[in-house]
Amino acid sequence: MRAIELKKLSYTYSKKTPFEKRALDNVDLAIEEGEFVGLIGATGSGKSTLIQHLNGLVKVQEGEVVVAGMSASDKKSLKQLRFTVGMVFQYPEYQLFEETVARDVAFGPKNMKLEKDEIDRRVRRALEVVGLPYDEFAERSPFELSGGEKRRAAIAGVIAMEPKILVLDEPVAGLDPVGRREVLALVRKLHEEVSPTVIMVSHYMDDIAEMADRIVALKEGRVVADGSPQEVFGEREKLAQAGLALPSAARIADKLTERGIELPRTIVTPAALADALAEIKAKRAANEPAAQDGEREDGENV
Amino acid sequence: MPQIELNNASYSYRVGEGQTVRALRGVSFSVEKGEFVALTGMNGSGKSTLAKLLNGLFTPSAGDVLIEGINTRDEERTFDIRRKAGMVFQNPDNQMVATVIEDDVAFGPENVGIPREEIVERVDWALEAVGMSEFRKRSASKLSGGQKQRVAIAGVLAMKPDIIIFDESTSMLDPEGRAEIMEVAKKLNATGITVISITHNMDEAAQADRIIVLRKGRLVLDGTPKEVFASPEVEACGLALPPATELARMLTERGFAFSETVTDEDGLVEGICAQLN
C-alpha cells in the first residue's frame, strides 16, 4: 500500500516579497508502506519544508500531498493526518512540558480522545519501547532526566499516538556517542514494532547508509537522486553536485581505489568495505605464487 | 609556567534539598601555550563544567585553576581571565547581540573601551581570520549555522585572546559547517592561539594534538589521539572510536595487522596499502 504520495509539489516562502524563496520545486515522490527512507540534502535544500507537508504543518500551495489515502489539503482530515504521521523534530526534548513523564507521553493520546484504559496502555507501551521502564520513569519530572533519556521520553510522546508513519528530523543531533547508538537502535526498533514507514532526515551519511532501504536526495527543492544507498552513493558526481558528502566507508574505498586497490562504488558501509578488503587479501595471498610466475615470464620476454 | 593549570580542581553544586552533584572531582592537568586539546566524555561527564572553570565563569569548590598564573578565584582579575580565554558556545543562534555582523564583532572591544581606530582594525582582522570579511555589512539572520559560528569566533578574536574554548561549537551544525569551524580552529591554532575543543565528535577529537577524556567528573585519559584510541578505556567512557579506527578494528578481525593505532582515514589507507600492495 502507498503510504505517501507527493504530486508536483511546489512551495514558495514569502511569496511576492523581496525574500521570496522557492523551497520545493515540482517534487514527485511515492513512498510505500514499510519503507525506511533516508532524506538527505544540504541545509536549505527543502527537507524540512517537505516533511512539514506530511502532517499539514504547512499548507499545500501547488500540487498534491496524499498520506494514507488522505489529502493534506482537506481540512476535515487534518486531525486524523496528525495522528497518522508522528513527527519527531530536532531537539524534541525542548518540547517536554508536563510535570511527569507519564503525563507528557499521554498528551498525544489524550488529544486523540481515547478511552482512559487505552491511553494508559499506550503510555506504558511507548515508555517500554523507548527503554524507559514505566515503573521507574512514569512519575519522574522530565526535566531531571539525562540528555539521552529526555530525548527518548520525547520520542515516546510521539509513538504513544502509534502513528503509521514516523518522521524524524536529525534524531541524533547533539547526542554523545552512547546516546547516538541508543537512539539509532531505537529508530530501528520503532520501524519494526510501531511505525512501519519511517522517514529519517539526517546529515550523518554513515547512519543513513546503515539504516535506510532507500535514499531520497534533495537539492534546491528538487529530488536529484532516489534509490538504494548503493545506487545513490554510487553516483559520486551527482552527489557532489548536490553538495552532499559520502559515507566514510565509500570515501575510504575511493582513496584505496586511487592507490590501486580497486573497490566497487557500491560499498557504503564499514562491514561491506571490511569484507571486500578481506576478500582481496585472500585472493592476493592465493595468487602470490602465480604472480611470481608472471614476473618470471615478463623477465623472459624482455 | 604552563598557560593553563588545574590543581586538584573540583566543582559541586546543589540541586534541591541536600542533594549535591559532584560535577568535577579532583581534576589536575596543565596545557602549554599553542596546544590543540580536545576535551571529551559522555553527557554529564563534566566537560562543560570544566570549560566554565577555565574562563572563570565558575570558580572551583576545591582546588585551583590558574590561567597564565592568575588564579580564577581572584575576582579582581576575572576580567583579565575572560579576555585571555574566550569562549564560543554551542548554539549559533544565541550568540549574536547586534543585527549587523561588524557591529556584533565590535561589541566586545567597544565594551572595554578600546579606541575607535583600533576597534576598526580588530574587526577587520577578526573577520578576515574567519573568512567572513565580505559579509561585514550584512545581517546575521541570513547566515548559515557555520557562518554564524564563524562570526561568533570573530567576536571572541576581537578581544585578542590567548586561548579559545569551543564548547560543543560544531554540534548543531551540518557537516559543511562543522568542517568550516574545524578549519578556522586549526588556522587560529597555527598562529599560536591555544585551542580547547569540547566535543562528542570523535573525528574532530582525532584531529587534536591531545585528547583529555573525563568520566563522571574525573580525568581518566590524557594523551595523543593514537594513545587514547588505543586504550581499552575508551569505550568504558561512553565514547565511540573514529570511523577509521573502527574500520581498522574490523579489518584486524579479518586478518589484517596495523603497526600503529589508526586515528584517521589517511592513516588507515596507508596501513591497508602497506598490506595489499
Cell of B225: 589521539
Number of structural domains in chain B: 2
CB contact under 8 A, B265 and A271: no
| Residue B103 contacts residue B120 (beta carbons within 8 Å) | no
List B88's β-bridge partners, or say none: B166
Cβ <8 Å between A252 and B247: yes
C-alpha cell at A296: 618470471
pLDDT of residue B99: 86
Q: Taking chain A, what is the end-to-end CA distance rounded to the nearest angstrom?
A: 67
Distances (CA, A) of A119 to A85, A258, B236: 18, 58, 39
Chain B residues touching A141 at Cβ < 8 A: none
Domain that holds residue B268: 242-277
Q: What's the pLDDT at A302?
A: 40
In this structure, are B218 and B171 located in the same domain?
yes
The band of A290, judged by pLDDT with boundaries at 50, 70 and 90, is low
Q: Are residues B226 and B105 in the same domain?
A: yes
pLDDT tens-place string over residues A213-253:
999 999 999 999 999 999 999 999 989 888 889 999 999 99
Per-residue pLDDT of chain B (277 residues; tens, 9 = 90+): 899 999 999 999 887 777 888 999 999 999 999 999 999 998 889 998 999 999 899 999 999 999 999 999 999 998 899 989 999 998 888 877 888 999 999 999 998 889 999 999 999 999 999 999 999 999 888 788 889 999 999 999 999 999 999 999 998 888 888 899 999 999 999 999 999 999 989 999 999 999 999 999 999 999 999 999 999 899 888 898 999 999 999 999 999 999 899 999 999 999 999 999 7
Mutate one of B40, B42, B211 to test the A interface: name it (highest A CB count within 10 A): B42
Contact B276 A174 (CB under 8 A): no
d(CA A114, CA A130): 21
Parallel/antiparallel/unpaired status of strands A36-41 and A214-219: parallel
Per-residue pLDDT, A147: 81
- Residue B51 is part of a domain; what is its CATH number? 3.40.50.300
For residues B172 and B249, membership in a common domain is answered with: no
Note the pLDDT of residue A296: 47
Residue A113: CB atoms within 10 A of its CB come to 8
Average pLDDT over residues A189-209: 95
Based on the domain organization, do B90 and B141 belong to the same domain? Answer: yes
Interface A-B, measured as beta-carbon pairs within 8 A, has a size of 102
Cβ of B168 within 8 Å of Cβ of A249? The answer is no
Rounded Cα–Cα distance for residues A47 and A224 (Å)? 12
- For residue A219, what is the enclosing H or E element? strand A214-219
| Shared-domain flag, residues B160 and B249 | no
Provide mean pLDDT across the span A123-134.
96
Query: Given this model, what pLDDT does residue B44 score?
Result: 84
Rounded (10°) angle between helices A101-111 and A116-129: 130
B228 phi/psi in degrees, rounded to 5:
-65, -45
Q: Quick one: B165 and B266 in the same domain? A: no
- Claim to verify: residue B255 and residue B132 sit in the same structural domain: no
What's B119-134 look like in SS3? HHHHHHHHHHHCCCHH
A89 and A169 Cβ atoms separated by less than 8 Å: yes
Q: Are residues B26 and B128 in the same domain?
A: yes
Q: Are B183 and B262 contained in the same domain?
A: no
User: Do B36 and B161 reside in the same domain of the chain?
Assistant: yes
Cell 596543565 sits at which residue? B30
Å between B61 CA and nearest CA of chain A: 23
Q: CA-CA distance, A66 to A7, in Å (whole number)?
A: 8
Check pLDDT > 80 for residue A208. yes
Pick from A90, A152, A176 the residue to mutate for testing the B interface (most B CBs within 10 Å). A176
Q: Which of B44, B171, B247 sits opposite A273 (nearest CB)?
A: B247
Examine the domain organization and report whether B99 and B233 are in the same domain. yes
Chain B closest-CA separation from residue A46 CA (Å)? 14
Give, for B166, the enclosing helix (H) or strand (E): strand B163-167
Q: How confident is the model at residue A292 (pLDDT cuts 50, 70, 90)?
A: low
Q: Residue A176 and residue B171: Cβ atoms within 8 Å?
A: no
> Which of A173, A175, A277 is the closest to B251 by Cβ?
A277
- Judge if B261 and B166 occupy the same domain: no
**For every residue of A84-141, which 3-state class applies, written as one string?**
HEEEECCCHHHHCCCCCHHHHHHHHHHHCCCCHHHHHHHHHHHHHHCCCCHHHHCCCC
